[in-house]
């Protein structure tokens, strides 16, 4: 194993988890900034060419672990690994953001669902080769159908 070190922090308008849109149909179009520490800035070379990025980050304000979670998008419980719950054995978040522009070591992005000051562990270009018709959305698709 290794000891993770943050490469930067998220600058977001959200100060409290209650402010982040949740549940079925929640839209994540909020703009924020991924502020990368100056020592890691060389690692941003050529990132401008990518429209979307995966951001790996730490749920630094989540407490505890719940292996069975009841997400805001359903009234039924599901295993934590079938959800995006913050209360997981390794509190790591994954968010896809749209890269709007780069300003030195600051990446201006759309689609943040993280609190202000959230530590960033890694950034990777978003590339998906899975065709839309091959994707199955599990309990989420069922929950959406029940809600209709
Ligand atoms: C359901 S999680 C999904 C996060 C990410 N998109 C994922 O899939 O891993 C999103 C929630 O995490 C919570 N959250 C955001 N930043 C956090 C932080 N730094 N510590 C703890 N909870 C956080 C907010 O309540 C937000 O609604």
DSSP for 105-144?
Answer: TEEEEE---SPTTPEEEEEEE------GGG---HHHHHHH
Question: Does the structure show a pLDDT above 90 at 23?
Answer: no
- Ligand 1, closest atom to CA 10? 19
N-term to C-term CA, the chain: 45
What mean pLDDT comes out for the span 80-105? 97
What mean pLDDT comes out for the span 38-61? 98
> How many angstroms separate the alpha carbon of residue 99 from the centre of ligand 1?
19
What per-residue confidence (pLDDT) applies to 26? Answer: 87
Question: Does the structure show a pLDDT above 90 at 146?
Answer: no
Please list every protein residue whose CB sits less than 6 Å from any atom of ligand 1: 17, 20, 22, 59-62, 84, 86, 93-95, 113-115, 118
> How many angstroms separate the alpha carbon of residue 13 from the centre of ligand 1?
14
What per-residue confidence (pLDDT) applies to 90? Answer: 97
Atom 16 (ligand 1): residue with closest C-alpha? 114
What per-residue confidence (pLDDT) applies to 137? Answer: 92
Question: Does the structure show a pLDDT above 90 at 105?
Answer: yes
H or E segment to which residue 110 belongs? strand 106-110
pTM: 0.95
Name the pLDDT band for 128 (thresholds 50, 70, 90).
Answer: confident
């Amino acid at each position: 194993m290794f000891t993770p070190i943050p490469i930067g922090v998220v600058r977001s308008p959200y100060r409290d988890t209650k402010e982040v849109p949740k549940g079925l149909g929640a839209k994540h179009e909020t703009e924020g900034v991924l502020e990368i520490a100056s020592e890691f800035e060389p690692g941003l070379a050529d990132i401008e060419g990518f429209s979307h990025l995966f951001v790996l980050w730490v749920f630094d304000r989540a407490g505890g672990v719940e292996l069975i979670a009841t997400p805001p998008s359903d009234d039924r419980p599901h295993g934590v690994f079938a959800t995006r719950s913050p209360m997981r054995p390794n509190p790591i978040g994954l968010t896809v953001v749209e890269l709007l522009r780069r300003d030195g070591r600051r990446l201006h992005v759309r689609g943040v669902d993280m609190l202000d000051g959230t530590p960033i562990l890694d950034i990777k270009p978003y590339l998906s080769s899975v065709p839309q018709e091959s994707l199955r959305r599990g309990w989420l698709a069922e929950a959406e159908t029940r809600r209709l």
